Amino acid sequence: MTCVNAVMFRRVWRGTNETVLAYSESEALAYRVRQEDVDPADPFVVDPDHALWQCGGEFLDVAGQLLELPPAPEHSTFDR
């Protein structure tokens, strides 16, 4: 049995799920997937075939890159 201590930041916006998993200051994973492709029971597993974007590295770097992404196709900030 293993135990993973991490902090998860998650944003769901118009059908898109954006998640940052921070294991430490120097180790983090960020990804963007469609909401229907998320398994809420296991946020630590991301199917590469479903990921719209993903990145690993230092927490501030990956979180910043995720926040700087343009809206996902067909998910404009200003559309209803």
What is the pTM (predicted TM-score) of this model? 0.79
pLDDT of residue 79: 53
3-state secondary structure 2-33: CCCCCEEEEEEECCEEEEEEECCCCCEEEEEE
Greater pLDDT, 45 or 69:
69
Say how far apart CA 79 and CA 17 lie, in whole Å.
Answer: 17
pLDDT tens digits along 10-54: 988 888 899 999 998 899 999 999 988 888 788 778 888 889 999
Q: Are 35 and 7 in contact, with CB atoms under 8 Å apart?
A: no
